[in-house]
Structure 1
Amino acid sequence: MSKKPDAPDVVEATETGAEQASPTPHSAVESFYNVHIAQLQRALAVAGLEEHVRLILSQPKNEVIVNFPVRMDDGHFELFTGYRIQHNDVMGPYKGGIRFHHEVTLDEVKALAALMTYKCALLNVPFGGAKGGIRMNPRQYSERELERITRRFTHDLGNNIGPEYDIPAPDVGTNSQIMVWMMDTYMNMHNAHDKNAQRRIVTGKSLTSGGSRGREKATGQGVVYCIQEWAEEQGFRLDGCTYTLQGFGNVGSHTAQILSRLGAVLVAVQDHTGTIANPDGIYPGKLNHHVEKHGGVGGYKGARPIYDEAFWEVECDICIPAALELQITEEVARKLKARVVVEAANGPTTLAGEEVMMERGIEVIPDMMANAGGVVVSYFEWIQNKRSESWQLQEVDSRLHFMMKNAYHEMRAFARERNVDNRTAALAVAIARINAVYVERGVFP
Structure 2
Amino acid sequence: MTLTKDLKKKEQPKQKQGMLSNVMEQFEVAANMVGLNPNIKKILAVTNNELIIHFPVRMDNGDVEIFKGYRVQHNNALGPYKGGLRYHPTIDIDSVKALAMWMTWKTSLAGLPYGGAKGGIQIDPSKYSNTELERITRRFAYALGENIGPEHDIPAPDVNTNAQTMAWIADTYMSTKAPSERSKNQHVVTGKPVGSGGLEGRDRATGFGVFLTIKYWAENKNIPLKDKKFIVQGFGNVGYWAAHFLEKEGAKMVAVQDAFGAIQNTEGLSVEDLFKYTLNNNGSILDFPGSSSVKKEDFFTLDCDICIPAALGSQITKNNAHKIKASLIAEGANGPTTVEAEKILLEKGVTIIPDILCNSGGVIGSYFEWLQNRNGEIWELEEVLAKIDKKIKDAFKRVLAKSEDKKIDFRSAAYFIAIERIEKAYIQRGIFP
* TM-score over 0.5 for the pair: yes
2:319 equivalent in structure 1: 331
C-alpha distance in 1, partners of 2:366/2:378?
A: 13
Shift in Å, 1:197: 2.2
C-alpha distance in 2, partners of 1:58/1:253?
A: 34
Q: For 2:238, which of 241, 245, 251 is the aligned residue? A: 251
Shift in Å, 1:302: 2.6
Alignment map for 1:402-417 (pairs within 5 Å):
402-417=390-405
2:57 equivalent in structure 1: 70
Q: For 2:67, which of 80, 102, 107 is the aligned residue? A: 80
Shift in Å, 1:29: 8.8
3-state secondary structure, aligned to 1:217: helix
2:229 equivalent in structure 1: 242
Q: Which runs of 5+ in 2 are unaligned?
A: 1-13
Whether contact under 8 Å (2:17, 2:338) holds in the other structure is: no
Whether contact under 8 Å (1:326, 1:348) holds in the other structure is: yes
Alignment pair present for 1:202 and 2:201: no
Shift in Å, 1:402: 0.9
C-alpha distance in 2, partners of 1:351/1:58?
A: 18
3-state secondary structure, aligned to 1:243: strand
Q: Report the AA paired with residue 373 of structure 1.
A: G
Shift in Å, 1:191: 2.3
- Report the number of matched residues: 419
**RMSD between aligned residues:** 1.2
C-alpha distance in 2, partners of 1:45/1:234?
A: 30
Q: Report the AA paired with residue 142 of structure 1.
A: S
C-alpha distance in 2, partners of 1:48/1:405?
A: 27
1:438 equivalent in structure 2: 426
C-alpha distance in 1, partners of 2:231/2:186?
A: 38
Whether contact under 8 Å (1:117, 1:130) holds in the other structure is: yes
Whether contact under 8 Å (2:314, 2:335) holds in the other structure is: yes
Alignment pair present for 1:160 and 2:147: yes
Whether contact under 8 Å (1:203, 1:381) holds in the other structure is: yes
Alignment pair present for 1:344 and 2:299: no
2:91 equivalent in structure 1: 104
3-state secondary structure, aligned to 1:42: helix
3-state secondary structure, aligned to 1:296: coil
Alignment pair present for 1:222 and 2:209: yes
C-alpha distance in 1, partners of 2:341/2:178?
A: 50
Q: Report the AA paired with residue 395 of structure 1.
A: E
C-alpha distance in 2, partners of 1:42/1:407?
A: 21
C-alpha distance in 1, partners of 2:197/2:15?
A: 37
2:125 equivalent in structure 1: 138
Alignment map for 1:25-424 (pairs within 5 Å):
31-294=18-281, 295-424=283-412
C-alpha distance in 2, partners of 1:333/1:432?
A: 30
| CA deviation map 1:43-80 (0-9, x unaligned) | 11212311111111011111111111111111111111
3-state secondary structure, aligned to 1:195: helix
Whether contact under 8 Å (1:123, 1:403) holds in the other structure is: yes
Shift in Å, 1:206: 0.5
| CA deviation map 1:179-215 (0-9, x unaligned) | 0000000000112102112110000011111100110
Shift in Å, 1:39: 1.1
Greater mean alpha carbon deviation, residues 322-331 or residues 29-38: 29-38
Whether contact under 8 Å (1:29, 1:103) holds in the other structure is: no
C-alpha distance in 2, partners of 1:191/1:169?
A: 24
C-alpha distance in 2, partners of 1:171/1:257?
A: 19
C-alpha distance in 2, partners of 1:111/1:307?
A: 29
Shift in Å, 1:107: 0.6
Specify which structure has the bigger relative contact order, considering alpha-carbon pairs within 8 angstroms and separated by 6 or more residues. 1
Q: Report the AA paired with residue 251 of structure 2.
A: A
Q: Report the AA paired with residue 278 of structure 2.
A: V
Q: Report the AA paired with residue 28 of structure 2.
A: Q
Greater mean alpha carbon deviation, residues 127-136 or residues 189-198: 189-198
Q: Report the AA paired with residue 413 of structure 2.
A: A
Q: Report the AA paired with residue 83 of structure 2.
A: G
Whether contact under 8 Å (1:30, 1:105) holds in the other structure is: no
C-alpha distance in 2, partners of 1:113/1:372?
A: 14
2:3 equivalent in structure 1: none
| CA deviation map 1:126-152 (0-9, x unaligned) | 111000111111111111111111111
Q: Report the AA paired with residue 40 of structure 2.
A: V
3-state secondary structure, aligned to 1:190: coil
C-alpha distance in 2, partners of 1:44/1:410?
A: 18
Q: Report the AA paired with residue 265 of structure 1.
A: K
C-alpha distance in 1, partners of 2:167/2:420?
A: 36
Q: Which runs of 5+ in 1 are unaligned?
A: 1-26
C-alpha distance in 1, partners of 2:218/2:16?
A: 32
Whether contact under 8 Å (1:91, 1:127) holds in the other structure is: yes
Tell me: CA distance 1:347–1:435, structure 2 relative to 1, closer, same or farther (3 Å).
same
Greater mean alpha carbon deviation, residues 291-300 or residues 303-312: 303-312
